[in-house]
Structure 1
């Protein structure tokens, strides 16, 4: 990797909402850190940035999506204050 290559990324989508006082929610997904940079705080920093973005936009929640099979990532999310609370269903097209 070159010095200008990204080492991590997360997709953030601000979703307008009519409930919860018309406050939006933030969808976070595709949290990816380059293998050689894992376990160095990059994902934690990306999650903190997502929380800051949600707070700055007065969101009522952040929904973090993760494949249920990625169980090694789930303790990281829980350490960042996220709670596993839903079962998702996907239909790929």
Structure 2
């Protein structure tokens, strides 16, 4: 895997990213790879915000993984900065290869570089295998999350 590159996503990566987002039972219900226009608008917003880091993992010119890292300055925890890892996806052909670990390690290292004191993430309650993966990497299921659809 020495030829693996984790780099900032570019607009040309949008189709591959959306395909990975849609390639699971949850994503299949909420993503629309046939219409990339809302993703393009969202990408432009992300690219304009220095606290947003949308990255892809690429090997031999092929996008095989992605995640979004958001850096959030705050007042709580004595003015701590935290980061949130979102939308981690690995191409189906690459699952189980260690790529997910490499992406999360990249996000944790980048969080340190950004002077974050805490890295957090959420995972749908149905993703029990994913929960075990995050626990193996040292994450602790310490909170209960809530969402309100608008």
Inter-partner Cα distance in structure 2 for 1:71 and 1:27: 20
What is the CA deviation profile of residues 26-45 of structure 1, one whole-angstrom value per residue up to 9, with x for unaligned ones? 01111110111000011000
What is the aligned residue count? Answer: 93
Question: Which residue of the partner structure matches residue 28 of structure 2?
Answer: none
Structural mapping, 1:54-93, within 5 Å: 54-93=111-150
RMSD of aligned alpha carbons:
1.7
CA deviation after TM superposition for structure 1 residue 23, in Å: 2.5
Select 2:103's aligned residue among 37, 46, 65. 46
Q: Point out 4+ residue stretches in structure 1 off by more than 4 angstroms.
A: none
Q: Normalising by structure 2, report the TM-score.
A: 0.58
Question: Which residue of the partner structure matches residue 32 of structure 1?
Answer: 89
CA deviation after TM superposition for structure 1 residue 3, in Å: 4.3
Secondary structure at the aligned position of 1:73 is classed as helix
Q: Normalising by structure 1, report the TM-score.
A: 0.90
Inter-partner Cα distance in structure 2 for 1:29 and 1:23: 19
Decide which structure has greater helix share. Answer: 2
Relative contact order, CA 8 A, sep 6+: which one is greater?
1
In the alignment, structure 1 segments of 5+ residues that lack a partner are: none
Question: Which residue of the partner structure matches residue 18 of structure 1?
Answer: 75
Q: Find the structure with the greater CA-based Rg.
A: 2
Inter-partner Cα distance in structure 2 for 1:17 and 1:81: 23
What is the CA deviation profile of residues 29-73 of structure 1, one whole-angstrom value per residue up to 9, with x for unaligned ones? 111101110000110001100110111111110011111110111
